[in-house]
Each structure stands twice: as C-alpha cells, then as structure tokens.
Amino acid sequence: MFDIKENLKKLPDTPGVYMHKDSLGQVIYVGKAISLRNRVRQYFQTYGKSTPKLRALTSQIAEFEYITCASEMEALILECNLIKRYQPKYNVLLRDDKTYPYIMVTLSERFPRVVKTRELKNDGNKYFGPYSDVGAVNQVVDLLNNTYHLKRCSVTEFRSGHRPCLNYHIGQCLGMCMPLEKDALEGYKRNIDTIVDFLSGRNKEITKSLRESMNRASESMDFEEAAKYRDLLMAAEALSQAQRVTMVSGKDLDVIVTSIKKAEADESIPPFVVLFQVRDGKMIGRETFDFSGETVSVNEGGASDSIDEKKLISEFIKQYYVRWADVPHDILVPVLPEEADLLEEFLAKDLSHKVRISVPKRGENRALILMAEKDTLELVKTLKARKSSDDEKRSALRSEIEYLLEQAGYAGRSENQSRSGIEGGTEAQKDYRVESYDISNTNGVDSVGAMVVFQGNRKVRKDYRRFKIKTVVGPDDYASLEEMLTRRLARAQKGDPAFATLPDIIFMDGGLGQVTSARKAMQATGYDIPVVGLAKDDSHRTRAVVFADGTELDLRERPLLFKYAGTIQEEVHRFAIEYHRGLHGKRAISSVLDEIPGIGEKRRNALLSHFGSVDAIKAASEEELRAVSGMDARAAKSIREFFDKKS
C-alpha cells in the first residue's frame, strides 16, 4: 500500500518530473518542477483543495512517482515525452495529430515517393502539413505523381529479374526498377527538389503549368479536361498559395494565437490554438488545434487551475514542436508563454539555428499578429453561429422523434426517456438514441445482420454491432431480424456492457413485416421499446414510417424526418452490405484452396499473390507451383493432384 505522507517526506529538493496515478495505476497527471519537494507537496496542502478541478485531481491520486533531472531543461524534455506517451487525463492535451493528414516525401529512400500519411516519424523523410483539407491533399498527391511519373511502389531494393508494375507499362512511372541512364536519375532527383519547393510554398512552376494546360484545353473546347485542370489548380492553391499576407523579407516564421478572450467565456466552444505558417515571406496556411482534458496545475508561487493564454501557448509549443520538426527561426505570440527562455533553448536543442519567441510591438510582425487575431475572432464567430444552427436542428429533430413516439402510443414514457437521459444531462445526452437494423445475404447464404446507432443526428460508431445469423436457413429476412434483435436484447438482459444501453426508439429497415419481427423479439425478452419501420417506394427511396398497427406516416409532409430516416436507412444498409461482402468474398476466395491437403493460410496467400487467381493456380504446372515462395515439391504435387481430380 502506497503511503502518500511517508513518500512526501522522501521527495528530493531537486529538479525533476512527477507523475500522479489513480487507484488503477494509470497516470492521470504529469508535471515538472524546479523543486520536486516543494511542488508535489502543494497538491496535498491547501492549494490542492482550492478549486473544483484541483479537488477532482487530488481526490483521485492514489500514488505518485518522480524522476529527478540534472536541470530544468532536462525536466522539460522529459515532461514533454511523458505527456506524449501517457496522454494523462488532467493535463492540457493537444488533440491527436493523426486527425490531420500530412504529405510525406520519402527522402530516406534512393528514389523518393510522395504519399499521404497521418503519422509523423523521425525517419529522415520530409513532412509537410498538417492540412485540414483531406480532399486537396489527395488531389495534390495524385497531381505530383502523375505530373512527374514518380515511383509509387514501396519496394526500395530491386532484385535481378524484377518485373515492372502496371504503372510503368501505362506510362505513369519512369521505371526506377529498370536500368536507367545517369541523366534519368539526375532528372528524377531534380523533380523531387521541385516538389519539395512546391510543398514548401514555392509553387509557381506547377501552378503555371496547370493554368496553361487548363487554358489550352478550354481553347480546344475540351471542357471536361479543362475542369480537371481547374480542380487540380484549386487543390494546389488550397495547400500552398500565399494567403492574404506577403512580407517584404523572405522570412520563415510561425504565428501562434489562441481563442481565449475571443470566445467571450462561451464554455460551449473549447479553447483552441491557431497556427499561421509563413515560409519565404509568404503565409502558406492556417491550422487550428483543439485542446482536451482538464487544465490543472500548481505554480511555484501558488495554485491555479485557470486555462490562461500564457499556459495554453506554452503547452502548444511543447507538444506541437516535439511532433513536428519544421521549427522556424521566429515564433510570434500575443503574450510571452511561461518559461519563454527555457522553451527557446528546448526548441533549438537539436537545430543548427536559434529560435526566438517574441511579442512584436511594431512593424510587419505586429501586423501579422493583429491579422491572425482578427482572423481567429472571425473563426470564433463562425463556430458560435454553427453551434447555434446545430442546436436549432437538434431541437427540431427531437420534436420530430417526440411526434413519432406520440403517434406510436409512447408519448411521455419516462422509462424510455431515462434510457439516454433525455430529461437532462449534457448536450449529447439530451438527444434521443435511435437504433436501426438490417439483414444482408446472397440467396440465404452468409446471412448477416447489422445494427447502427444514432444519438440525435450523430453516428455513434463505437456502438455499431454485427451479427452472423445462426438459426435461420435460407433467405428469410423476417426470421433473421427476429433472431438478431432477440440476441441483442438478451445480451442487454445479462448486463453485457456492449449492449447495456437501450434505444429510445428502433427504426427497422422495412415495413410492417420487419416491425412485427422486432415486436416478437421484444415479447420474447420482456422489453417494450417503440419500434417503427422505414418503407421505401419503387425507386428504393424512403417514403413512409410504418407503425406496429399498420398505419403509415407519409414522410413527404415532414422534410426533416424524411432526411433523417433516409440517412439512417442508408447507413444501416451500407453497414450490412459491407459486412456481408467481406464475409462472402473471404469465403469465395479461400474455399477451394482451403480444401487442398497441406495448404494453410500462408501458402494460400502466397499462391494467390503469385498467380493472381484460382484459375491461374489451377492451370499451373508442378514446376511453376514450386516457384512460389514457401512451396515445396510435396505441396506442389498435392495441389496438382487436387485440381486434376476436380477436372
């Protein structure tokens, strides 16, 4: 048993990092200190009980660990690494940057590639981003590959006898795997340099070429081709054109501002940081980064749990630049962050240049800060307007579902309302929970069921479930639905946490027959949950809601409900079809080969990879079969004998 009082006495009066843990041993807060003894003790004294957030943290501390460091700089580096590793609940956390795509140029390879990625690694490659426009990233990656005919395969070493891929044969790859002349190799490297320049903001060459191609196609009356170049040009400009500000001097710098003070204490809009990047004197983009988690800290001179601008900027700099290697010479901020000198030393540690964090007072740098703050203010206004609009839509949708419940004879049913907390709680809890079910099969074979969940108009993907139909033989959708729903409700009865939350209403993909199947499942398990069907017209579009008594509600008269029902019906149908195709396709591919003695999963996959199809395997000779990786003479003979008997 960890004795907090005894261990507090053992704390050293040295710099270091401390980790608070809960009763399960999980790290819930990481901090650094000039004096571990003074800092950690404060959490268990008056300061640790001074605010609700601090009380919430200290009430969960079951033990703590600490690591001593030689200096405050060493403690800062260690703190950053530990926060990144543990993602503690009570630290200010930068939202996972895997949400944002990057463009990677694989400079670590002999023949670099240009690919989209969501992971940053210290691997010698060059990363550009993050970008918020995923579509533009995909278009630009395709544009660069197609324009320069770059290598696209991940193979780095080509063995003798290597056969070029389809991209080479259709002229989309220069053929790095083929013998090349010296001029071709140098040309490839020059193209990569041009691409790096383009992604760095120096994009005149490519955009000029795209605009010329667009104009030529337009003059030739080939408007479809011109539209393609127009879209590519827009995508290129979306990522790298100079935006709003061009500076006289060709500087590289970042501008960091926050939404604090601009959000006017609107708690519905969480704090975020806005990063403006200036490269070669051009502003090449703006990215926003949300922060999550409680802001709980005890400063050297006392307690504080407020998320002020200095603290937010400090946390952003530490966490962002640890992940992103492109640290400019200058970082402009509206207020100096905590320990600015220490952060400058930290950022420049592995760089060949110094880093300066400053608050500009005049000139073009001051103009940049003012522009960034004005832009952020507009962004906050947009978020507020969007939230207000979303709130109105959610309220209207709740009214529509309440109307459905009333028509189904369930108006005011408190037991249904309590399932998702409709009477109170957070905004997410105020929305009705809707579940929908569908069946998919091929003539009764590989029959599967799908369950999707919506909380209001939001998809709750973590609660989606899939079912293999076990007791029904043949294409009987009604019986399959009854089995699926019975199993789902039975799991809820047994207290299975994966099925514990019940819906406020069930939407069945179908008409009265499907509704009846759901009612039978509820009778078998003792539940009484409102259920309606979503009937379609001859064009396979949702047309009406069907109630258990056979009456229908024409959705053309209720456009919001019409759109909502259609969205749910499309989603459950997609989810069911996707599961069925994967299951059916896997069975179709593997069934014949799995019947052959001595052929397991590895050899089966090797055969399919080598020959491409079962028909090609069937036509291969024993000698050709033995050429497959991992195949011996005995296995090759077994395959040949199996197919000879089949023919």
Q: How far is CA 182 from CA 105, 149, 189, 211, 516, in A?
A: 22, 17, 11, 32, 74
Cα–Cα distance between 76 and 153 in angstroms, integer?
40
Residue whose pair of structure tokens reads 């990677």 in the numeric block: 104
Q: Is the pLDDT of residue 376 over 70?
A: yes
Name the more confident of 611 and 105.
Answer: 105
Alpha carbon distance 60, 22 (integer Å): 5
CA distance linking residue 565 with residue 71, whole number of Å: 61
pLDDT at 584: 57
What does the pLDDT look like over 571-628, one tens digit per residue? 998 888 888 777 655 555 555 777 788 888 788 778 877 887 778 888 888 888 888 8
Tokens 């579902």 belong to residue: 401
Give residue 388's pLDDT. 80
Locate 545 and state its tokens. 């809601």
For residue 592, give the amino acid letter.
V
Collapse the DSSP code of 128 into the 3-class scheme (helix H, G, I; strand E, B; otherwise coil) and give the result: strand
Q: How many percent of the chain have pLDDT more than 90?
A: 25
102 forms bridges with which residues in the sheet?
117
Residues 359-373 have a mean pLDDT of 86
Q: Respond yes or no on whether the N-terminal peptide bond of residue 130 is cis (omega within 30° of 0).
A: yes
Burial code (b: 16+ CB inside 10 Å, e: under 16) for 188-202 equals beebbebbbebbbbb
Cα angle: 486, vertex 490, 491; to 5 degrees? 120
Q: How would you write 561-573 as a 3-class SS string?
A: HHHHHHHHHHHHH
Q: How far is CA 193 from the centre of its chain?
A: 30
- Bridge-partner residues for 450, per DSSP? 438, 466
Mean pLDDT, rounded, for 32-39: 92
Count of beta carbons in the 10 Å neighbourhood of residue 333: 24
Q: Across all residues in the chain, what is the average pLDDT? A: 81
426 pLDDT above the threshold of 50: no
Segment 377-423, tens digit of pLDDT: 877 877 777 778 788 888 999 999 999 999 988 876 544 443 443 33
Query: Which of the residue ranges 30-34, 290-294, 536-540 has the most confident prediction, judged by mean pLDDT?
Result: 30-34
Query: CB burial class (10 A; 0-12, 13-18, 19+) of residue 260?
Result: buried
- Tell me which of 65-74, 95-104, 344-353, 513-522 is least confident: 95-104
Longest Cα–Cα distance in the chain: 87
